[in-house]
Structures are given as structure tokens and as C-alpha cells.
Amino acid sequence: MKNQGRRSLLFGAFLLVLACSLPIFGQDGTSSEILTNDKVVTMVKAGLPPNIIINKIHVSKTNFNTSTDELIRLQQSRVPPEIINAIVEASSNASIVKSAMGAGDAAKTDPNDPLATHEAGIYLYQEKDGQKRMVQLEPSVSKQTKSGGFLASAVTYGIAKTKFKAALAGSNASLQIDMPRPIFYFYFEVKNAGLSSNTYYATSPNEFVLVKFNTKGSTREVTTSQANVFGAQSGTMDKAAHGFKIDKLGPGVYKVTPQEDLEEGEYGFYNGAGAGPSGGAKIFDFGVKRPQ
């Protein structure tokens, strides 16, 4: 009984010590500490090595002032250049991440601000009379067709090439643009690493091709691959593809601009990886018309 009582007493003492120590852990400020210019200066004056201070900047919440006067003050306070550079970089990243965290809930943000949070997708950016406007491109589902080389392929025992095309219904896209070099923004889901968790598989604009369609009657089409008995060649033909410049602005956010002015016609961002079982792919289509 004495041993049992002693165990109970020791257990009670252990619980008391544990209870007393909990507030200490709860008051640990490492997770809630916000690093500022003055705190960095304090660490420098304390003699902490630059690499330790830079690592501290990378893992901490920050609220830096990177105005010209503050940068001069940091220099005068003998803050090493590599630390000042880390401060500027952290401030820039915090600004972008705060306003542009890829695709997400856009309910409380400005839908016409390209650096605000947007739903996953591709958006056209326009600015007229000082007013910003963003329009989301709705994807159209293409149909895969074959053309050319049927008779020739049979006669030549498969040597002649058969072309496979992606075709869209209608002679014009619903979105018509009067700018020869439009600006687009791509927003990808950062968590799922995709333009959409269900229907698109791209994680970067590099996986898209900007193509120009040939309009035939009430159909727009572009060659996506060709094949013969010797093999297949996938991808749009060079004459249909147009290069574009990509600028990454933040996690899942990209600014995309054609490398050259687009002629009048019908275009679309094509991603063959998003094709369905029937071969149809979702194409973010638009048209370019010169202003009258």
C-alpha cells in the first residue's frame, strides 16, 4: 500500500510539473514573431553571422520596410549587403504571395486585379481609360477529325500521311479581342498543382500551345498530329503555333504575352494532355479583330 501511495504521489507531482510547463511552451514566440528591420539590426549588432540571419529571415514572418531611406539606414547600421538583399527579396515575395496565391477563393478580392486571387483558369487582361478588366476564357471542347491521305495512304500502303485535327464548332469564338498583342494571366491551383483538379492536367503555361485556326465554313480547325506507316508526329504544325513570353509572378500565377502581334483570325490555347477519351481536348479559344 505504501508503494502504491508513493507511486500516486510521484504521478501527481509529474502532472503538476507538466501543467506548470505548458504555459511556457504556449508562450514560445518563434511561431508568432514578426521580423522587422530593427530586429535585424539588433541581430547584426549582436554579432550573429550573416548566414544565420538570412536563414532566420527565410523561416520567419516578416514586416520589412524597404523604402530608400530605410535601405540607407540599414547600410549605415553596418548590415551586410547579402542581408539587405534578403530583406528586399522577402518583402517582395511577401507582397506577391499575399495578393497572388495562385488559384483560390476569389470572393473577397478585386476580380479585375491580376495580382488578386482568382479561380483556376486563363484570363484576358485589358486596360481602357484607366480601368482594368479581366475576362475569363471559357474552354471549348474540340472534336478530333482525320483528313488527307485516305486514298493516298491506301494506294501507297500507308506511306502517305494522315492528318489528325482538332475542330471547334462555329466560325468565331465568343470572345473577340481588338488588341494585336493581348495579355493573359494563367492561374493554377497551387495545392493540386493543376489548372483544375478535375479536367486539366497542366501545371505551367509551358504545357500549352498558342495556335491559330483555319476557318472552314462553320468550323475552326488546327492540325494536331500526323502519321503514316513509319510512325506518328504529334504536336501542332509550326505554321499554326505562335510563341509567347511567360513571366512567373508568384505561386501558380503567370503572365503570358504573345512574342509578336497576332494577325486577325481565330486562336486558342491548346493542351493535348487534357484530351478526353474520344480525343477531344479543351481549347481556350478567342478571336483577334483589328479595331475599326
pLDDT digit string, tens, across residues 153-203: 454 444 446 678 889 999 999 999 999 999 999 999 876 554 554 445 678
Using an 8 Å Cβ cutoff, are 8 and 16 in contact?
no
Verify that 32 and 159 share a domain, yes or no: no
Predicted pLDDT at 266: 97
**Are residues 172 and 95 both part of a single domain?**
no
Least confident among 48-57, 121-130, 139-148, 237-246 = 139-148
* Residue 30: predicted pLDDT: 45
Same domain, 30 and 140: no
The pLDDT score that the predictor gives to residue 265 is 96
**Residues 72 and 136 placed together within one structural domain of the fold:** no
**DSSP collapsed to 3 states, the chain:** CHHHHHHHHHHHHHHHHHHHHHHHHHCCCCCCCEECHHHHHHHHHCCCCHHHHHHHHHHCEECCCCCHHHHHHHHHCCCCHHHHHHHHHHHHHHHHHHHCCCECCCCCCCCCCCCCCECCEEEEEEEECCEEEEEECCEEECEEEEECCHHHHHHCCCCCCEEEEEEEECCCCCCEECCCCCEEEEECECCCCECECCCECCCCHHHCEEEECEEECCEEEEEEEEEECCEEEECCCCCCEECEEEEEEECCEEEEEECCCCCCEEEEEECHHHCCCCCCCEEEEEEECCCC
Asked if the structure places residue 36 within a domain, the reply is yes
Boundary of a domain, candidates 37, 65, 99: 99
Count of domains observed in the chain: 2
Does residue 172 fall inside a structural domain?
yes
Percentage of the residues of the chain whose pLDDT score is greater than 70: 65
- What proportion of the chain, given as a percentage, has pLDDT over 90? 42
pLDDT of residue 133: 94
Structural domain for 225, as ranges: 121-288
What is this structure's pTM? 0.57
pLDDT at 277 exceeding the cut of 70: no
Q: List pLDDT tens digits, range 75-84.
A: 999 999 999 9
Is there a domain that residue 3 lies in?
no
69 lies in the same domain as 176: no
pLDDT at 290: 82
Residue 8 lies in a domain: no
Does the pLDDT of residue 221 top 80, yes or no?
A: yes
62 plus 130 within the same structural domain: no
Is the pLDDT assigned to residue 250 strictly greater than 70?
yes
pLDDT band of residue 261 (cuts 50, 70, 90) is very high
Greater confidence, 59 or 8? 59
Q: Are residues 199 and 239 in the same domain?
A: yes
pLDDT at 110: 84
In a domain, 110, yes or no: no
146 and 83 share one domain: no
Shared-domain flag, residues 152 and 267: yes
Confidence check: pLDDT of 99 > 50 = no
